[in-house]
Structure 1
Amino acid sequence: MTTTRINFHKTRFLISAPDIAHLEQHLAEVSGIEIAFAGRSNAGKSSALNALTEQKSLARTSKTPGRTQLINVFAVDEWRRLVDLPGYGFAQVPQAMKIKWQQALAEYLQHRECLGGVVVLMDIRHPLKDLDRQMVEWSVASELPVLVLLTKADKLTQSARMKTVNDVRKALEELKGEVIVEPFSALKGTGKEKVLSILDNWCHPQWLVDGIAAAQPTE
């Protein structure tokens, strides 16, 4: 069956929730697939979402990293959603809040049945901090495909950029999971088409394609 390339430009805000319990309460009847975006509070997560959807303010960007404390859900279409998870690891956030966020992230990754993949964003100049690696490990343990997006790639030269990409790929090989590592720049558009292609592939699992086909009215 031929699939149509998804138009991420049509993505719209759907709902915010403080934890997975509230998320499932509001989206209990929603079927389909979700792709989660996770990363440290200063990794450029909101900028990446805005760049990928070609919308300047879909996800709120802030000069004060760590403000996003909610799970924000965006509808790509009737069947597919992008989920902006709370940023983690920002030093000025109280420890109790950090722990709460970590618990929410772990719970979401382990129990959200419609989750189809995880994008873990890291500043290319400071990749694989402890919480970054933990996020990748959680995702692999949950048998989820992972896209490690090394953001702010325009801050490095081409040679330094590729060296970092290769170093991160090598460091994550031991996890034995489905992990892709790519450079990305929301400012310059570096890696944008490659990332959209990966997301498009994740959003077309056979079970969903079959389900959409079955839901179509017959003539």
Structure 2
Amino acid sequence: MAVVPNPLERATYLLAAHNHRQLPPDGGREVAFAGRSNAGKSTALNALCRQNALARVSKTPGRTQQLVYFAIPPHEDRYLVDLPGYGYAKVPQDLQAHWQQFLDGWFTTRQALRGLVVVMDIRHPLKEYDRQMIGYAVRRGLPAHALLTKADKLGRGAQGNALLAVRKDLAASYGDTVSVQVFSGESKQGVDEARAIVNGWLELA
């Protein structure tokens, strides 16, 4: 069986931005990954890129505290962007306010942004922050894709029920603008489907 080429395998760490001045030039194409702390965002990124430690997997919630950019050689203007894990970050309120303002501005003005992947634990989907991030994308007219991660923790029947419930909720709130799938970085379930979407947004196919 032939191995499908995966441009994301070339992804490498580029920079971590804490303010707008540190961002790369606003050109090309970027896909952002958002998710509550410990939803499996780092594991998902690593699985999509077939790398074990591209995005650091931490047992401590809220460890990602900047916009982390990964470049995809040989392209000079294709990026994956790991957004700060949200929900449990134990940081001072003034720093949280800074992140909120930074993200608001980034989502509102970043022209290179071509899609948002929202990572949600399949057992606890569509929390307030998940809806907030999806709302950012919808208001910008950007495609959003929900990954229901850690699917290996549930049986097939429970996975299907969760998928249908989330799909129905998203359709009621946002129409057909948000797609959703079951995913597991551990068992690699749904990895090819998610990778195809990201590659399409980045025009890497």
Same fold (TM over 0.5): yes
Q: Encode CA deviations 1:40-70: one digit per residue, 9 max, x unaligned.
A: 1111111111111111111111111111101
CA displacement at 1:20 relative to structure 2: 3.1
**2-structure distance, mates of 1:91, 1:22:** 22
1:31 counterpart = 2:27? yes
Letter in 2 for 1:42: N
1:198 counterpart = 2:194? no
Hey, what does 1:130 align to over in structure 2?
Answer: 128
Q: Encode CA deviations 1:150-174: one digit per residue, 9 max, x unaligned.
A: 1111111111111111111111113
- Conserved 8 A contact 1:140-1:177: no
1:19 counterpart = 2:19? yes
- Greater shift, 85-94 or 163-172, is seen at 85-94
Letter in 2 for 1:157: G
**2-structure distance, mates of 1:145, 1:136:** 9
Hey, what does 1:175 align to over in structure 2?
Answer: 174
Hey, what does 1:157 align to over in structure 2?
Answer: 155
**1-structure distance, mates of 2:102, 2:36:** 14
| Pair 1:203–1:5, CA change in 2 (3 A) | farther
Cα-Cα RMSD: 2.0
**Any idea what SS the aligned residue of 2:179 has?**
strand
Report runs of 4+ in structure 1 exceeding 6 Å deviation.
none
**Any idea what SS the aligned residue of 1:137 has?**
helix
**Any idea what SS the aligned residue of 2:42 has?**
helix
CA displacement at 1:183 relative to structure 2: 1.0
Hey, what does 1:88 align to over in structure 2?
Answer: 86
Hey, what does 1:43 align to over in structure 2?
Answer: 39
| Pair 1:81–1:115, CA change in 2 (3 A) | same
CA displacement at 1:204 relative to structure 2: 1.9
CA displacement at 1:88 relative to structure 2: 0.7
Number of paired residues? 199
* Structure 1: runs of 5 or more not aligned: 210-219
| Pair 1:91–1:15, CA change in 2 (3 A) | closer
1:70 counterpart = 2:66? yes
- What TM-score comes out, normalization by structure 1 length? 0.84
Letter in 2 for 1:169: R
**2-structure distance, mates of 1:96, 1:177:** 37
**1-structure distance, mates of 2:89, 2:64:** 14
Letter in 2 for 1:18: H
Q: Encode CA deviations 1:54-93: one digit per residue, 9 max, x unaligned.
A: 1111111111111110110001132311000111111644
Q: Encode CA deviations 1:5-39: one digit per residue, 9 max, x unaligned.
A: 6511111111111033421xxx22x6310000011
CA displacement at 1:199 relative to structure 2: 1.1
Percentage of identical aligned residues = 46
**Any idea what SS the aligned residue of 1:42 has?**
coil
**1-structure distance, mates of 2:27, 2:66:** 21
Q: Which has the larger radius of gyration?
A: 1
**Any idea what SS the aligned residue of 2:96 has?**
helix
Letter in 2 for 1:62: S
1:109 counterpart = 2:103? no
